[in-house]
Chain A
Amino acid sequence: MQKYVLASAVAVTAIAAAGMASAQTLEEVKDRGVLNCGVNTGLVGFAAPDAEGEWEGFDVAVCRAVAAAVLGDASSVEFVSTTGKTRFTALASGEVDMVSRNTTWTFTRDVDLKNEFVGINYYDGQGFMVPKGLGVSSATELDGATICIQTGTTTELNLADYFRSNNMDYDPVPIETNAEAQQQYLAGACDVYTTDASGLAATRAAFETPGDHVILPEIISKEPLGPLVRNGDPEWADIVRWTLNGLIAAEEYGITSTNIEELAQGTNNPEINRMLGTEGNFGELLGLESDWLVNALKAGGNYGEIFERHIGENTPIGLARGLNAQWTEGGLMYSPPFR
């Protein structure tokens, strides 16, 4: 019995001891020369390896932008695939420096789990996907349905709340990864698959016959997705936060991957100059080179470009900008000023 206790204590301590590596993330990343970034195990459009094994996607692009800002090289990223269950532990234990894994910003995750959400890169909501043959046109008709959910996510709790408040019954089938959920859903082991609407669109795009499945109109929750870092290292949180803000502001000011070289020479717009390092010392204040944001933007372009390339309307996933348009175009994307 002593052995059990000892082994467990070692394991527990290992977790906690690794957590010590919290305060100096920037130094560590620079020394290591590689950014460790936690991403999804595979969600087409958001984070998935392409045919050559290179990670790409909307969430991956944030990791690459941060790596470019910090290290000057967008390819110096080690992608660690995390499940809904492992992502926070991986971050807390120091296994990854940041998580960019369609993760919903919630109170408990921010305050109780001691994470630091640095911003929102996708405004999402939880939806339902059903086969067309089921003849369901609204989520309120789902009484008694068997529903596949990814365990360890906010969707699990939203689902319970939604069905409770609508006085309906359901049968949950808990599932670890998106791929597994897809397999179960297509085999008919569940009637409905529920996750963030963007995730549903991405999953459906990977089906053989996407047209046979419909995403129901009801969005039952607010799911602001964004990157997060460990609590207790404000400098590092600032770097990730302002890299993300830089991507969003760049779209607003029309800085793209094609005109950035030209704009980086200096413009008449002082805000662009401050962002791109020709005026002021914003890079230095963050502990980075003055051309940090130039590098970040060269990695994949501004927010709009990243969106269009990975999940936009011309991709198989085909998501409209909707809430994720710039505030100037009726969306919610709004970066604080670079001043």
Chain B
Amino acid sequence: MSSTVEPPREQFRLSMLLNDTRYRSYTFQAIALVLLILFMAFLGMNLVRNLADLGQNISFAFLGEPAGYDINQRPISYDNQDSHLRAAFVGVLNTLIVAFLGCVTATILGTLAGILRLSNNWLVAKLMAAYVEAFRNVPVLIWILIIFFIMTAALPGPAAFRGVDPEQSMLFGAMAATNRGVYVPEPVLGPGGWLFVAVLIASVAGVFAYRRFATKMLYDTGRDLPRGWPSLGILVVPSLVVWLAFSLTAGSTPNALLVPEGAGGQTLEEYVMAEGGATLCLVDGASSSTVAKTALLRLQDAARSGPVDDRVNLNIRTNRVESREAAVAAFEEGQCTLLALPQAAAADLSVGAVLETELREGRPIEWDKPFLSGFNFSDGVQVRGSLIALWFALAIYTGAFIAENVRAGIQAIPRGQTEAAASLGLRPGRIMSLIILPQALRIIIPPVISQYLNLTKNSSLAIAVGYMDVTGTLGGITLNQTGRAIESILMLMLFYLIISLSISAVMNTFNNAVRLKER
């Protein structure tokens, strides 16, 4: 039988706050906190008082006023009558776009470079070492400017693509790299388009599911299923079947082409050649319009080929409208000379005449190709030069740091692991993907999180190349035109804080998923 003797309960005395090590640290922390709060209160009061002296105050009312300026890259609809808040939001989206593209590209680049730097091939290893050293030792702003200036100086202007005998021709007739950016076709969903996209997504999910199943099979039974060709099959076959089904059969709906009164009864080619061009009312996201445009561009190309003397430059223009009703209205008002409609809808219309040519749409996805019209390329997707410069510079710069993180992670795994795996008969690729990387990831991820944060924050250098990110809109033009510096900067800080904490949170979740599970 044993008895424990309770130590006498000590009475808490005020002096213990200083003398007792158990409480002393709390005392100092409390004092520091109070001082900090007082100091910040002093700064805040000082700010408000000084602002009042200048006759200014802190107010966020300016956010509701019309911004009055235009933004060149608009992920959401925006015009200069929208509010400063919306302009700020457009900037936020632009920041997120470049940060996302940059992070993904930097990860791919960095992982490849990090692994290849450890390659046994002397040339490859040294090349990667040179990449890492060159890019991480030069400030990112310099890289942004270098890439931007190379793009503007080396690439041709849109004017070089003009005329019957242009200096430059478009890549595959659908892409153009100019000093204002790269223009690529935009996908437009046709009949069955949604089904096709859904099947494609399902196929990708299927590939992942299959590989998971194969891994489980390997662990459970030791049977190693082939992974390469089944994955490819799962990815391609269903999509191809859907594509062919719609292209060849059911989806084909004939469209009538409407032209102004009195011009009917001829083919599209005769009409366009007689008129020297056409202006098409292009309904946003409608594949019928896209098919008509593709036909027009093909005619334009045909008219431009052949002997130089016979070439004709057809004046093709498009008039983009939101809906079919708006297109019909624009056609009636004479804002365009060509309109593509399903035959039934065309028959109901009292204006215009129908051409003999019928255009059939049937492919699930049509490509809306950019083409030169006026000063610039129109339609398609413009990847702006400023975005490319910023994106690539951030990606290769941060990629160099990630490469070092990856290398560090891999080198932290003892060589014995590799040798043991090799002695089991695993091939080098398998050793890397099954043995080394899963362990290295635990070491790689934490520093990579801070690289992502760096990249996101560095994207505020966008202003150097005129990319309208949130620093350019809210922290640039809005700040400038309204003079609300403190409010704008506070909002800007809040945004970067939120976005950085979100990235950390997501990456930490991922880190927890791959870290060593202790059972």
Partner of A187, one of B39, B153, B378, B480: B153
A-B CB proximity, top 5 nearest: A16-B50, A188-B157, A152-B480, A160-B80, A144-B374
- Give the CA-CA distance A15 to B179 in the complex, in Å: 39
With A13-B46, A144-B373: A189-B54 Cβ-Cβ less than 8 Å: no
- Give the CA-CA distance A84 to B464 in the complex, in Å: 14
Question: For residue A176, which residue of chain B has the nearest CB?
Answer: B463
Encode contact with B along A248-260: 1 for CB under 8 Å, 0 otherwise.
0000000000000
Contact present for B43 and A174 (CB under 8 Å)? no
A143 within 8 A of B: yes
Encode contact with A along B207-226: 1 for CB under 8 Å, 0 otherwise.
00000000000000000000
A191 within 8 A of B: yes
Partner of B375, one of A89, A144, A189: A144
Name the distance in Å between B482's Cβ and chain A's nearest Cβ: 8
B interface vs A, CB < 8 Å?
36, 39-40, 43-44, 46-47, 50-51, 53-56, 68-72, 79-81, 152-153, 157, 159, 179-180, 373-376, 378, 385, 463-464, 466, 468, 472, 476-477, 479-483, 485-486, 489-490, 493, 497
Contact present for A189 and B385 (CB under 8 Å)? yes
- Give the CA-CA distance A134 to B158 in the complex, in Å: 12
Encode contact with B along A1-16: 1 for CB under 8 Å, 0 otherwise.
1101110111011011
B residues within 8 A CB of A13? 43, 46-47, 50
Contact present for A174 and B51 (CB under 8 Å)? no
Name the distance in Å between B129's Cβ and chain A's nearest Cβ: 34
- Give the CA-CA distance A133 to B56 in the complex, in Å: 49
Known: A16-B54, A151-B476. 18 other contacts (CB 8 A): A4-B497, A9-B43, A9-B47, A10-B43, A15-B485, A16-B51, A19-B51, A85-B479, A89-B485, A133-B159, A144-B373, A145-B376, A152-B476, A156-B481, A161-B68, A172-B70, A189-B152, A232-B53
Contact present for A16 and B80 (CB under 8 Å)? no
B residues within 8 A CB of A161? 68, 80
A323 within 8 A of B: no
A interface vs B, CB < 8 Å?
1-2, 4-6, 8-10, 12-13, 15-17, 19-20, 22, 84-85, 88-89, 92, 108, 112-114, 133-134, 142-146, 151-152, 156-157, 159-161, 163-164, 170-176, 184, 187-191, 231-232
B residues within 8 A CB of A184? 152
Contact present for A152 and B70 (CB under 8 Å)? no
- Give the CA-CA distance A1 to B40 in the complex, in Å: 14
Partner of A6, one of B40, B81, B476: B40
Contact present for A157 and B376 (CB under 8 Å)? no
B residues within 8 A CB of A189? 152, 157, 179-180, 385
B residues within 8 A CB of A171? 72, 180, 376
Contact present for A8 and B72 (CB under 8 Å)? no
- Give the CA-CA distance A13 to B48 in the complex, in Å: 9
Contact present for A175 and B466 (CB under 8 Å)? yes
- Give the CA-CA distance A231 to B483 in the complex, in Å: 14
Name the distance in Å between B73's Cβ and chain A's nearest Cβ: 10
With A145-B376, A164-B80: A152-B481 Cβ-Cβ less than 8 Å: yes
Partner of A85, one of B39, B69, B476, B489: B476
Contact present for B53 and A19 (CB under 8 Å)? yes
Question: For residue A180, which residue of chain B has the nearest CB?
Answer: B466
With A184-B152, A189-B179, A189-B385: A174-B374 Cβ-Cβ less than 8 Å: no
B residues within 8 A CB of A10? 43
Partner of B70, one of A16, A108, A170: A170
A residues within 8 A CB of B55? 114, 231-232
- Give the CA-CA distance A307 to B378 in the complex, in Å: 45
B residues within 8 A CB of A176? 463-464
Contact present for A157 and B68 (CB under 8 Å)? yes
A-B contact pairs, 7 of them (CB 8 A): A4-B493, A8-B493, A89-B485, A114-B54, A145-B376, A152-B481, A156-B69
Contact present for A113 and B476 (CB under 8 Å)? no
A residues within 8 A CB of B373? 144
B residues within 8 A CB of A143? 374
B residues within 8 A CB of A8? 489-490, 493
- Give the CA-CA distance A159 to B374 in the complex, in Å: 19
B residues within 8 A CB of A92? 54
Contact present for B40 and A160 (CB under 8 Å)? no
B residues within 8 A CB of A191? 375
Partner of B159, one of A114, A144, A174, A188: A188
B residues within 8 A CB of A173? 72, 466
Q: Which of B81, B375, B464, B482 has the most CB of A within 10 A?
A: B375
Name the distance in Å between B67's Cβ and chain A's nearest Cβ: 9
- Give the CA-CA distance A184 to B40 in the complex, in Å: 45
With A151-B480, A160-B80: A17-B152 Cβ-Cβ less than 8 Å: no
Contact present for A16 and B46 (CB under 8 Å)? yes
Contact present for A12 and B53 (CB under 8 Å)? no
- Give the CA-CA distance A22 to B481 in the complex, in Å: 22
Contact present for A112 and B483 (CB under 8 Å)? yes
- Give the CA-CA distance A162 to B47 in the complex, in Å: 39
A residues within 8 A CB of B159? 133-134, 188
Question: For residue A109, which residue of chain B has the nearest CB?
Answer: B483
Contact present for B376 and A146 (CB under 8 Å)? yes
Contact present for B54 and A232 (CB under 8 Å)? yes
Partner of B47, one of A16, A133, A146, A164: A16
Question: For residue B44, which residue of chain A has the nearest CB?
Answer: A9
Question: For residue A189, which residue of chain B has the nearest CB?
Answer: B152
Partner of A174, one of B47, B68, B466, B486: B466
A residues within 8 A CB of B468? 174
- Give the CA-CA distance A157 to B477 in the complex, in Å: 10
A residues within 8 A CB of B43? 9-10, 12-13
- Give the CA-CA distance A144 to B47 in the complex, in Å: 45
A residues within 8 A CB of B79? 164
B residues within 8 A CB of A164? 79-81
